[in-house]
Structures are given as C-alpha cells and as structure tokens.
Amino acid sequence: MSQTSHGVGGVSYDAKKRTWPAEFNVFLALVILVVIFELIGRIFLGDSFLFNTRSDVSGLFNEARLQIIILQVSIVGIIAIGVTQVIITGGIDLSSGSIVGATAMIAMSFAQVATVNGNPNPKAMFLAQGWTDLPVIVPLLVAVGCGLLAGLVNGALIAYTRIPPFIATLGMMVTARGIAKWWSKGQPISFPTDSFAAIGKGLMPVIIFLSLAVLFQLIMTYTRYGKHCYAIGSNEDAARMSGIKIANHKILVYVIAGILAALAAVVLSSKNLTAQAGMGVMYELDAIAMAVIGGVSLSGGRGSIVGTVIGSLIFGVIISGFTFLRLDAYYQEMVKGVIIVGAVVLDQWRQRMRALRA
C-alpha cells in the first residue's frame, strides 16, 4: 500500500496475510480433546478411546463409540444448523427446544396406529376421528407446518415490532412449551406407525443431520440467502442501504430455524417411539452452545455450519469421553460450561490478535 501512484491499479495476493479458516482452530480443539481422552484412557484405564482393542471385532477404530459420539448430538445438531443461521444474522433463537416439544406432540398424534396388540391404541389422540395409520407424509407435513408457523411468528415479531430477538423467542419458548403441555393435557403420545418410527431408527438421525448440514453449508456459501445472512449480521445498516430487504430475510431465517427444530422433533419422537410435553427442554441452549463452540460469533456475521458441526462433535466427544472414563454426568455439565465460556474467550482473543496484525 505504500507505493500507490496515480493511475496504477491492481490487486495482489499476500500469502503471509492469509489466515486459517476459523473452523480449522475448532477442528484442532476437537483433535486435542480426542488425544487427551485417548492418553488418559491408555495411561489410567489401559483402554483406547478411539481405536478398536477387541480381538473379536475387526476394524481399526472403535466404531461403536464413533457412532455414539455423533448419534447423541445429531438431534440437537439439526436444531443447531438453524440456530447457526439465526446467530450469523445477528439474532438468537431461544424457542427451538420448546418448538421441539410442541411439534413432537402435535406431529406424533398424526402418526399413531389404530390398534396395539389387538386392542385400540390407548394413547391415540384422534381415534374417534379415524386419523390413525396415516401415511408418514401427514405427520411430516404437520411438523413442518408447526415449525413454519412458530418461525413465522418469531420472524414477524422481530422484523416488524423491532423487539429484540431474545425477547421474541423467549415468548415463543414459553408459549410453545405451554402448547406442548396443553395438546394432550400432559399425557405422553405413543405407538407410532412403523413408517414414522423408521425415521429415527439406527443411524438415521446421523444421516439426516449430516445431509442437512451439507445442504445448508452449501446454501450459506453459494447462495444469495447465505450472503445476505452474513451481510445483515455484520452491518445491518449497510445491508439496508444496499437494498437488502431486511424484514423478509429475517422472517425467512427464523422460519428455516423453526422448520429445522420441527424436523429434530420428528427424528426425536420417532427415535423414542413417543412424544412428551417435556421433550427438548434446554435443547435451545445446547444448540447455541454447539454453534458458539464451533466459532459462530454471537455478535453476528461470523461462523459456519461446518464450524457448528465440529462444535457438536466436541459436545459428543465430551459426553462419550466422560462415559469412557466412567465419570459421573455431573462432571460433563461442569466441563461443558467451562468449554462454552472458554470458546468465546478464545475467539475474542483471536480476533484481537488478528486486528493487531492487520
């Protein structure tokens, strides 16, 4: 920049000024965490965290553990994909856990069988109406409708009344939980059809989670929607002056987050073969934590779906690692808390360092 002269322009590329993508650091943290568990396991337990040590099973890695690591975070991970988009836009969504509860209840009541072991389904919501043994598309569409509606309310409140996203989605969090309890007067809803139960069977949650993650990573990188998410999150005024329709975009973001939470509800209730009003409590905070650990900035504009997926894997590794070390679940929670705060502190510090170098 020092030798600018009139009339001479051009662009150059300075390799020294190149910075690692933020996701790389998160991935490094994941690797370090796995190595720590591996070392502790080898030294104190004489067992491996990651690798296969049994002679009756073939394969280099302990596949069962790898599956569990990702399986247990898949459902919250689906929510986190939506929450990541909301946070990148500069918002926050506290309602996703409750949307999971309400959607699970409502969708499950359209996915029930008529008879259980020859008797009428004791938990059927719509037995009298004959709305039983419906094709799987019906509960799926109902779920998507629930998520869409909740997201629409969230988005419209935020875009048109200009109340902070924190308050709007807090309201939805309480309301949706109320709906979940009111729907069946607190009774669990069970006995889904086989086709509905198949959605959450085995490794299906993982497949759904990763497919959605890939889809939305591509959307965030290559489409106008993604570009505008980052633009609004980093400078809303600039985005407005550039002609981006802020209100429409925000509504769309919250609708997508709502639908993803609803899909998580379908997978969760299908996996558990039942829906309960208390489902998904605290999921919103776990989802936010996954995003934050994955490098998504709470002030908006920075982060990615890939980062959130790695963040969710860090979650999974911690849970599995503590089980592997035979430590109580209490310690998991404590460490999770420390990691959430640590991730944000580290991110802030990294940003400052970068700013100093620039």
Partner 1 sequence: MTDIVLKTENLTKRYGGVHALEGANFELRKGEHVAIMGDNGAGKSTFVRQITAVEQRTNGQVWFDGKEVNFTGPIEAREAGIETVFQNLALADDLDVPSNLFLGREKVLFNLGPFSILDRKYMRKATEAALVRTAVKIPNLSNTIRHMSGGQRQCVAIARTATFASKLIIMDEPTAALGVQETAQVENIIRTLKDNGEPLILISHNMRQVFDLCDRIVVFRRGRIVANLRKENTDGQDIVSYITGAKTGEAELAA
Binding-site ranges for partner 1 (CB under 8 A): 1-2, 4-14, 17-19, 219, 222-225, 227-228, 230-231, 233-235, 237-239, 241-244, 249, 252, 301-302, 354-355, 358
User: From CA 125, how far away is CA 107, in angstroms rounded?
Assistant: 11
Q: From the CB of 5, what's the least distance to partner 1, in Å? A: 7
Cβ proximity to partner 1: between 67 and 299 the closer is 299
Cβ proximity to partner 1: between 232 and 317 the closer is 232
Cβ proximity to partner 1: between 26 and 30 the closer is 26
Mapped onto helix, strand or coil, the DSSP state of residue 167 is helix
Cβ proximity to partner 1: between 92 and 180 the closer is 92
User: From CA 48, how far away is CA 162, in angstroms rounded?
Assistant: 53
| Of residues 26, 67, 94, 115, the one with CA closest to residue 258 | 94
Q: From the CB of 221, what's the least distance to partner 1, in Å? A: 9
Q: From the CB of 74, what's the least distance to partner 1, in Å? A: 24
User: From CA 243, how far away is CA 222, in angstroms rounded?
Assistant: 19
Distances (CA, A) of 344 to 294, 310, 338: 10, 15, 10
Cβ proximity to partner 1: between 6 and 162 the closer is 6
Facing residues of 61 across strands? 51
Q: From the CB of 40, what's the least distance to partner 1, in Å? A: 38
Cβ proximity to partner 1: between 323 and 351 the closer is 351
| Of residues 226, 250, 247, the one with CA closest to residue 301 | 226
Q: From the CB of 297, what's the least distance to partner 1, in Å? A: 8
Positive or negative torsion for Cα 138, 174, 256, 341: negative
Q: From the CB of 169, what's the least distance to partner 1, in Å? A: 21
* CB burial string 170-202: b at 16+ within 10 A, e below: bbbbeebbebbbebbeeeebbbbbebbbebbee
Mapped onto helix, strand or coil, the DSSP state of residue 155 is helix
User: From CA 220, how far away is CA 49, in angstroms rounded?
Assistant: 34
Cβ proximity to partner 1: between 214 and 238 the closer is 238
